[in-house]
Amino acid sequence: MKFSVAVLPGDGIGPEVTQESVLILDEIGKLYGHEFTYAYGPVGGVAIDSFGTALPAETAKIASKADAVLFGAVGGPKWDDPSAAVRPEDGILGIRRHLKLFANLRPVQVYPELLEASPIKPDILKGADFLVIRELTGGLYFGKPKKRWETKTGRQSVDTLKYSETEIRRIVRVAFELARGRRKLVTSVDKANVLETSRLWRQVATEVASDYPDVAIEHMLVDTAAMQLVSNPKRFDVVVTENMFGDILTDEAAVVSGSMGMLPSASLAGIPDLDQGKRTRGLYEPIHGSAPDIAGKGLANPTASILSAAFMLRYSLSLGTEAMAIESAVAEVLREGYRTADIAEGASDHLSTVEMGSQILRRIR
């Protein structure tokens, strides 16, 4: 089959890790008889430098025309000025909005081989395996008014936290659908003791739960969830939460897992129905960000990007077998002891970005 992929490498280590994913996709194409064509577009800081905007119209067009988007990362010290009119982050936020990617899937898996790389004690962490589903196009990130103004007594600013019942229902449904293929527990995270949006969230989540009698639901306050993530990560199966809480909790979860450089993500415009082979438009990116401090040094771990490409095959291209082939190759490479610097744990020899990519590629069959 033929597929078109929009490739938006972005800033920092984005281009290095994304390149490895493209090579992996080419290998999948060769082995399984598919043809992937790539349309590249600038996004983030590099786009600001050449076009004055983090999401040029042409890039948005490339992204909406493709079967799926493979995304690197955006941001870096060069564009960090808080008073700048344009910011690299507008690139990713703009695409999420433009493609209506409301569901962000961030699986947190703990590889037995990498237990020691986590700041959490191995016996607390061992066996943890959960999926965070973050609402991605609403809440504080996009609510209006969002502005700053001057008053007699000084500067003031506002962001708006707003959620409609429709937005809540569709994201909570994603959680329940995916929980059916897992351990059948949904933890809905909110701050219902303080926030009105959270009280609506809890109510709607409870309503949705009644359509899924086979899946259990629990409600948890976000501060409790932050504690539980480090003290008892094994208790979670599927976690669903609003945009801002999800942003914070997923970084915490990534560090807990000890394998930030290993974690992929998918941002989807619909509910994936893998049994029906239903395709969903999506954007796939490593969760680690642009890591400007190690950019261009060949130190970055390409695994998170490569696993994101696997997600792309599964969720947007209905190529589940091919996705599994990539995931098995990654697991094999880890088992055999290959490591990039981020997961090398003091070992003196570690692989470069390209070397890690080729080790994974070689094991795909």
Told to judge if 191 belongs to the known catalytic residues of this protein, a careful annotator would answer: yes
CB nearer Mn ion, residue 159 or residue 247: 247
Kindly indicate which of the ranges 97-105, 201-209, 220-228, 242-250 contains the residues binding Mn ion, using the contact rule CB under 5 A: 242-250
Task: List Cβ neighbours of 346 (8 Å cut-off, separation of 6 or more).
Answer: none
Q: 192 touches which of Mn ion, ligand IPM, none (CB within 5 to 8 A by kind)?
A: none
Per CB under 6 A, 217 contacts ligand IPM: no
Give CA–CA dist 136/128, Å, rounded.
24
- Chain residues 79-98 in contact with ligand IPM, contact rule CB under 6 A: 89, 92-93
Per CB under 6 A, 247 contacts ligand IPM: yes
Per CB under 6 A, 240 contacts ligand IPM: no
Give CA–CA dist 108/257, Å, rounded.
7
CB nearer ligand IPM, residue 89 or residue 159: 89
Per CB under 6 A, 8 contacts ligand IPM: no
| Active-site residue (options: 49, 80, 211, 223) | 223
Cβ distance 327 to 47 under 8 Å?
Answer: no
CB nearer ligand IPM, residue 247 or residue 252: 247
- What is the number of other CB atoms lying within 10 angstroms of the CB of residue 85? 9
Cβ distance 18 to 72 under 8 Å?
Answer: yes
Give CA–CA dist 345/28, Å, rounded.
31
Per CB under 5 A, 247 contacts Mn ion: yes
Polymer length of the chain: 365
Q: Please report, for residues 34, 174, 186, the alpha-carbon distance to residue 180 in angstroms, rounded to integers and kept in the order given.
A: 30, 10, 10
Told to judge if 247 belongs to the known catalytic residues of this protein, a careful annotator would answer: yes
Residue nearest to ligand IPM (CB): 89
CB nearer ligand IPM, residue 71 or residue 212: 71
User: ∠170-172-174 over CA atoms, to 5°?
Assistant: 75
Told to judge if 11 belongs to the known catalytic residues of this protein, a careful annotator would answer: no
* Residues designated as active site: 141, 191, 223, 247, 251
Q: Which residues bind ligand IPM (CB under 6 A)?
A: 75, 89, 92-93, 247
